[in-house]
Amino acid sequence: MLSLFFVALVSATLLPGGSEVWLARLWCMGEPPLALWLLATTGNTLGSMINVALGRYARQFQDRRWFPASPRSLARAEGWYHRFGELSLLISWAPIIGDPLTVLAGVFRLPWWRALAWIVIAKGARYAVVLLLAHYWLAPLCL
């Protein structure tokens, strides 16, 4: 069951992963749903907080030639981020766009505790929905 923590952690970083499938598999094997939810949420939140830290660290290199964003695009992203703000972290659970949102939270120096709060809500809700869907749709298929 501890493997779920690591799969969820890696899934939240910029590396690909499939924590939902792993969660559903362990649920199907009869593991306790609350423990699964806690492990997946904790691991995925920690992975997202690593992204926040990477964003904070990366900002110091914004004047370097190799930095992936031009000053103009960084200014546009900052405008967008301040318009939608930290609430955008509520979709940090989403594939493709969620990981960059957590990096932006770090780049734009969202306080750690606020980033953590929004990310826990988003990740916890996602895994609760996965478990709920498993309960209603996957249960008949589990052996």
14 phi/psi in degrees, rounded to 5: -75, 0
What does the alpha-carbon distance between residue 25 and residue 142 come to, in Å, rounded to a whole number?
9
Q: The tokens 């924590």 sit on which residue?
A: 19
Among candidate residues 115, 117, 87, 114, the one with its CA nearest the CA of residue 103: 115
First vs last C-alpha separation in the chain: 18
For residue 37, the enclosing domain spans 1-142
Contact 93, 125 (CB under 8 A): yes
Helices (H), the chain: 2-12, 19-28, 33-58, 71-84, 98-107, 112-133
Classify residue 25 as exposed, middle or buried by CB count within 10 Å of its CB (0-12, 13-18, 19+): middle
Contact 4, 46 (CB under 8 A): no
**What's the structural domain count of the chain?**
1
Q: For the segment 12-55, what is each residue's pLDDT rounded down to a tens digit? A: 765 656 888 889 999 999 999 999 999 999 999 999 999 999 98
Q: For the segment 63-114, what is each residue's pLDDT rounded down to a tens digit? A: 777 767 777 877 787 777 777 788 999 999 988 888 889 988 998 889 999 9
Contact 116, 49 (CB under 8 A): yes
